[in-house]
Homo-oligomer: A and B are copies of this chain.
C-alpha cells in the first residue's frame, strides 16, 4: 500500500502534527528512538541555533495499539508552547526577503496564518522528523539505514562519505557530535563560522550529504524514478534549493571513460568499483549505497536591515527582523533531510 504523509499545523496555532497512511501493521514503535530523533532536531545551545527551546513531545492519537502500528492511519500531534506572537504581529505586512511571506500571501489570498511563518515555519519539520523516525524503524527491519552529515558550512568542508564503502556504523558517531560531521575538526571549524555569522548579524548556508545503506537493487522505475521520489520529498524541506546524486553537478565537467562506474562480481553480488551514479541507474537502485547532496540556503531571517515591501500598502519598506532565529540551520536540518529521505525510500519500496 502506498505510504502517504500529511504534515499539518502552524507555528503559533494550537499544534502541529502528521498523519501517516499506508503504514504496515505490527511495526514496533520504539519511542525512545523516535524521541532521540526528535531531540536531534531541537534547538541547540551555545549560539548555534535559536533560543526558542521546546519540548516537542509528540502525542500519538491513533494508529498504534499495544506498542505497535495497527496499519490504519497514524496521527501524532505536537502541541505548540512557548510561542511569542508579539514578536511577529508588528511586522505582518512587511515581507521578509527570501521568505515565503509574500508568496504565501498570494497563494492563500491573504488568509494564511502569518505568525511565525505559519505553515511555512521550520517548526513544521518536527512532525516530519517524527514521520521519518517511523520510516527508519521500518527500513531498519529490512536492513536499510539512512544517515547524514554536514558536508559544508560556508567555506568549511567535511570529508565526504566513501561512496562504495559507507557504513551505517558511522551514523551514530556522527549524530552524537555537537555538529553532525565525519571530521571532528571540520565540525569545530563550522561552529566558529556559525558563531561568527551570528555575531555578524547574518546567517550561513551549507550542504548536507545523505547515504542510504542496505537498499537492494531494483527499487524505483524509469517513469517514477527513485531520484524523483527522493527529490520531491526533499524539496518539501524549507530552505532546500538543490539536490544532486553521486557526482551530480560534477558530471557536467566529466568524460564518460572517467566517470562510468565499472562493474564486477563480488561473490554473488553485482557491484561497481566506483559509485559516481550515487547508487541509482535508470531511476532504479543498483544495490550500491544511495548517496546524494542537498544544498541548504542561509536562513533568510537575519538581524540586519533589509529592503523589502509593505504588502498592505504596496510601498517599499525596510525591515529589521526581531526574534529568535538560527544563524545556520544545517545542524538541525540534517536529521530533517534524513527523515524526508527515509520516507521517500520507504514510499518507493512500499509501492513495489
List chain B residues, Cβ under 8 A from A102: 217, 263, 270, 281, 286
Given A8-B19, A65-B118, A119-B72, are A272 and B111 neighbors across the interface (CB < 8 Å)? no
Would you call B154 and A103 a contact (CB within 8 A)? no
Inter-subunit contact B19/A97 (CB<8 Å): no
Measured between alpha carbons, how far is A174 from B340 in the docked complex, in Å? 38
Which residues does chain B contribute within 8 Å of A199, judged by CB atoms?
Answer: none
Q: Are A249 and B249 in contact (CB under 8 A)?
A: yes
Chain B residues whose CB sits within 8 angstroms of the CB of A187 once the complex forms: none
Chain A interface residue bracket vs B: 35 or more
Report chain B residues within 8 Å CB of A235: 225, 227-228, 231, 283
Does A195 have its Cβ within 8 Å of any Cβ on chain B?
Answer: no
A37 interface residue per 8 A CB criterion: no
Q: Is A141 interfacial (CB 8 A cutoff)?
A: no
Interface of chain A residues 19 through 62 with chain B (CB within 8 A):
19, 21, 25-26, 59-62
Q: In the assembled complex, which residues on chain B have CB atoms less than 8 Å from the CB atom of A282?
A: 99-100, 103-104, 120, 238
The contact string, 1 if C-beta is below 8 Å from chain B, for chain A 77-111, is 10000000000000000010111101110111111
- Residues of B close to A233: CB separation below 8 A: 228
Asked if A337 is at the interface of the complex by the 8 Å CB criterion, the answer is no
Tell me whether A73 and B251 are in contact (CB under 8 A): no
Contact B252 A205 (CB under 8 A): yes
CA distance in complex: A255, B202 (Å): 7
User: Of B219, B263, B304, which is within 8 A of A307 by CB?
Assistant: B263
Q: Do B241 and A75 touch (CB < 8 A)?
A: no
| A7 interface contact, C-beta 8 A | yes
Establish whether residues A255 and B112, one from each chain, have CB atoms under 8 Å apart when the complex forms. no
Query: For residues 238 through 297 of chain A, which have their beta carbon under 8 Å from a beta carbon of chain B?
Result: 238, 240-265, 268, 270, 272-273, 276-278, 280-287, 293, 295-297
A100 to B71, CA, bound (A): 15
User: Complex Cα distance A16/B73, Å?
Assistant: 10
Contacts of A246 in B (CB 8 A): 241
Q: In the complex, what residues of B have CB within 8 A of residue A143's CB? A: none
- When distances are taken between beta carbons in the complex, the residues of chain B under 8 Å from A308 are 262-264
Of the stretches A131-139, A161-169, A176-184, A309-317, the one at the interface is A309-317
In the complex, are the beta carbons of A316 and B264 less than 8 A apart?
yes
Additional 13 contacts, C-beta under 8 A, given A224-B236, A265-B309: A8-B63, A15-B61, A70-B118, A97-B261, A102-B286, A120-B282, A152-B253, A228-B233, A242-B243, A243-B244, A244-B295, A254-B298, A260-B306
Listed A/B pairs (21) with beta-carbon separation below 8 Å:
A6-B19, A8-B19, A8-B61, A13-B65, A17-B61, A70-B119, A71-B111, A97-B263, A100-B281, A100-B282, A103-B280, A104-B284, A106-B284, A120-B222, A120-B282, A154-B254, A200-B257, A204-B255, A256-B302, A262-B307, A270-B311
